[in-house]
Amino acid sequence: MQFQRMRDEIDERLRRLAERQYGVFSFDQTEAQGADPYLRSQRLLARRWIAVGAAAYRMAGAPSTWRGLLLAAHWDAGRRSLVSHASAAQLHGWPGFADSPVEILVPKSLDHVCTIAHVRETRRFDLVRTTTVGLLPLVAPSDTLVHVAPTLRFRRLEWLVDELVGAKSVDLKRLHAAFNTLSPGCRGLRGLRALLEDRSPGDPIPNTELEKLFLKVVTARGLPRFERQINLPGREQAPPGRVDFLWPDVRIIVELDGRRWHTRVRDFERDSERRTHWLGLGYATAPVTWARLSTSPDDVCADLLSARRRALSGRVGAR
């Protein structure tokens, strides 16, 4: 009877621990509370404890939680491991990262296998900056952005960078430092490199260079011919109403923009006024930046063709 009471007390202490730990408790904690191999085996066979990976458990009837899985995966992968990639992005509260998988970062060549998480390795583990959210050690925001960048299409990455910088969730200076530290040897970071260059001080891309690239891209992909450097009617105020490229049959303007990001932000009101003016004349505007054109030319062309098809469809339907 006393022996059973001792075991029940161990269960109760572990249950209280789990309540403070996202519903899980570790193998090491069972030993610290006095559970021997026989008790662990008995509890698992009776399904009073449910194994969570190789190093954690939860009590029967307790729900499995995402944060509980993250903590169990961290225990499984070792105390140095970090929550990373999309899991870290979700913990940081970034938009678009709900229901992320369980991802853990470990040093390269650890060769760790974890059944409840995707284990990622890096040779630069000791250079990764860290933080904590609750009980979870994780990769710091700027470093997380470098990690997730290769998994995102350029448009979403551009949106995410601007959202995080605008909300001051990520500091551009720290993001540059993280990129310089973690990017050597990494693939898939061309888009982030272009975005960081765009957001650095410096001269704009010359219009002639940007126009040559645009013509090369659209010609190679067989887009319908554009008219160039067209003066639109009905605009008397400065700046002049000249547009870079135009599909006159569908009244779509392509406005090339080689300015740095900071300059575009500063000129937002002027750009908005100009595009609203053109919209009043019946012209839609498609702004195309150097960063997007140089990293995602296929997406740029696909978007332009999609806009052209919609415009043609609307024109036919109106007849």
Q: Confidence band (pLDDT; 50, 70, 90) for 318?
A: very low
Q: Above 90 in pLDDT, residue 29? A: yes
Residues 136 and 222 placed together within one structural domain of the fold:
no
Q: Are residues 151 and 36 in the same domain?
A: no
Q: What is the pLDDT of residues 72-128, one digit of tens each?
A: 999 999 989 999 999 999 999 999 999 999 999 999 886 778 899 999 999 999 999
The number of angstroms, rounded, from the C-alpha of 235 to the middle of its chain's C-alpha atoms is: 41
Same domain, 240 and 161: no
Across the chain, mean pLDDT equals 90
pLDDT band at 319 (very low <50, low <70, confident <90, very high): very low
**Weakest-pLDDT range from 131-135, 191-195, 199-203, 272-276:** 199-203
Q: What is the CATH number of the domain that holds 301?
A: 3.40.960.10
Considering the domain architecture, whether residues 78 and 194 belong to the same structural domain is answered as yes
Instruction: Clarify whether residues 54 and 81 are in a common domain.
Output: no
Residues 90 and 192 in one domain: yes
Rounded to whole angstroms, how far apart are CA atoms 84 and 136?
11
How many structural domains compose the chain? 3
Phi first, then psi: what are they for 98, rounded to 5°? -75, 155
- pLDDT of amino acid 145: 97
Q: Find out whether 290 and 198 touch, Cβ atoms under 8 Å.
A: yes
Q: Which residue, 178, 198, 218, sits at the end of a domain?
A: 198
Q: How much of the chain, in percent, has pLDDT values that exceed 70? A: 94
Sequence-separated (6 or more) residues with CB below 8 Å from residue 33: 10, 13, 14, 17
pLDDT for 144: 98
Check whether 197 has a pLDDT greater than 50: yes
Structural domain of 111: 72-198
Cα dist. 125→82, 118, 187 in Å? 10, 16, 17
Question: 36 and 80, same structural domain?
Answer: no
- Give the per-residue pLDDT at 4: 77
Q: What Cα–Cα distance (Å) separates residue 283 from each residue in 92, 250, 286?
A: 41, 8, 10
Percent share of the chain, pLDDT over 90: 74
Calpha distance 142→174 (Å, rounded): 6
Answer yes or no: do 212 and 95 share one domain: no
Task: Please name which of 254, 166, 259 lies closest in space to residue 218, comparing C-alpha atoms.
Answer: 254
Same domain, 55 and 87: no
Among 163, 198, 233, where does a domain finish?
198
Residues 221 and 293 in one domain: yes
Residue 26 confidence (pLDDT) above 80? yes
- Asked if residue 132 has pLDDT above 50, the reply is yes
Per residue in 226-250, pLDDT tens? 999 888 765 454 445 678 899 999 9
pLDDT for residue 317: 46
Instruction: Supply the DSSP string of the chain, one letter for each residue.
Output: -HHHHHHHHHHHHHHHHHHTTTT-EEHHHHHHTT--HHHHHHHHHTTSEEEETTTEEEETTPPP-HHHHHHHHHHHH-TT-EE-HHHHHHHTT-TT-TT---EEEEETT-----TTSEEEEETTGGG--EEEETTEEEE-HHHHHHHHGGGS-HHHHHHHHHHHHHTTSS-HHHHHHHHHHH-TT-SS-HHHHHHHHHTSSSPPPPHHHHHHHHHHHHHHTTPPPPEEEEEPSS--SSSP-EEEEEETTTTEEEEEE-S-HHHHHHTHHHHHHHHHHHHHTT-EEEEEEHHHHHH-HHHHHHHHHHHHHHHHHHHHHT-
Read off the pLDDT of each residue in 180-207 and give the average, rounded to a whole number: 89
Same domain assignment for residues 302 and 218: yes
Q: How confident is the model at residue 191 (pLDDT cuts 50, 70, 90)?
A: very high
Last residue of a domain, one of 17, 41, 64: 64
Q: Are residues 159 and 242 in the same domain?
A: no
